[in-house]
């Protein structure tokens, strides 16, 4: 027996938190009865569970790593008809969703999965998964400015969490520089806003690492399935981070 919201998340309905909202709003039925109670336990093998009238199907969980190019929306669909990342996953039959997001004009590493529970944890800042970006910025940031990026920048939606930053190289007579920035959050256009706040706007941005995963072996637009060992390592890392850091509000 498992908690209902966990079963829904594992079925790829949504993140666990969103599944709790669906339950609270009366959109979920178990064996024909509307369920409002959080934490109710069900047997996904024998209980009939529907969400908004549609019976859930427990798919086998799949995990893909995509080298996202710019000019593609990080979404499963787009009402404006722009190209979305799922269109790049040729041959993938399962309905998968991006873990977090990369902006339209940002390239780099993106995970997609139908494992809603894992996706929610990977995207949540309390698990402190390293997200490493490389950004070409205008001008050359001083060491003081790089330190500010690492210790925290005050943005309009609050102070950023501590991370790491370093200068990799400069080009064109010091008119632009390549910096590497490690963060643990996933706010909207966070890296771009942080760099703009120190007076060095981003010219080009790419995510090169998520946790231990890198883009090695992939070209722009290519993807690959994660191995079982990689998935297990991801899950183990989440557990270890949670235990070492403790729960955060």
Q: Which two tokens stand for residue 177?
A: 């520089």
Measured between its terminal Cα atoms, the distance across the chain in Å is 28
Transcribe the chain into DSSP letters. -EEHHHHHHHTTSS-HHHHHHHHHTT-EEETTEE---TT-EE-TTTS-EEETTEE---PPP-EEEEEEPSS-BSSS--TT---BGGGG-TT--S--EESS---TT-EEEEEEES-HHHHHHHH-GGG---EEEEEEEES---HHHHHHHHH--EETTEEPPP-EEEEEEEETTTTEEEEEEEES---TTHHHHHHHHTT--EEEEEEEEETTEE-TT--TT-EEEPPHHHHHHHHHHHHHHHHHH----
Question: Is 157 noted as a catalytic residue in this protein?
Answer: no
Q: 28 with 40: CB under 8 angstroms? A: no
CA separation for the pair 136, 180 (Å, rounded) = 9
Strands 202-210 and 107-113: what pairing? parallel
> Could you say which of 43, 103, 117, 157 is catalytic?
103
**Looking at the annotation, which residues are catalytic?**
103
């Amino acid at each position: 027996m498992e908690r209902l919201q966990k079963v829904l998340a594992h079925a790829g309905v949504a993140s666990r938190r969103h599944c709790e909202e669906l339950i609270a709003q009366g959109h979920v039925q178990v064996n024909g009865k509307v369920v409002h109670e959080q934490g109710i336990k069900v047997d996904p093998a024998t209980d009939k569970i529907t969400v908004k009238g549609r019976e859930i199907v427990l798919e086998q969980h799949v995990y893909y790593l995509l080298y996202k190019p710019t000019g593609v929306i990080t979404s499963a669909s787009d009402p404006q008809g722009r190209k979305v990342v799922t269109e790049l996953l040729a041959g993938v039959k399962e309905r998968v969703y991006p873990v977090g997001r990369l902006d339209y004009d940002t390239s780099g590493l993106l995970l997609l999965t139908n494992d809603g529970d894992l996706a929610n944890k990977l995207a949540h800042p309390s698990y402190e998964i390293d997200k490493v970006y490389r950004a070409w910025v205008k001008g050359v940031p001083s060491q003081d400015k790089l330190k500010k990026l690492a210790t925290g920048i005050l943005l309009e939606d609050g102070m950023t969490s501590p991370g790491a930053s370093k200068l990799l190289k400069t080009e064109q007579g010091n008119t632009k520089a390549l910096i590497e920035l490690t963060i643990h959050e996933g706010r909207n256009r966070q890296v771009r806003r942080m760099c703009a706040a120190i007076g060095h706007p981003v010219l080009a941005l790419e995510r090169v690492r998520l946790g231990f995963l890198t883009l090695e072996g992939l070209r722009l637009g290519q993807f690959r399935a994660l191995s079982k060992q990689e998935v297990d390592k991801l899950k183990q890392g989440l557990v270890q981070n949670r235990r070492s850091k403790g729960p955060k509000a």
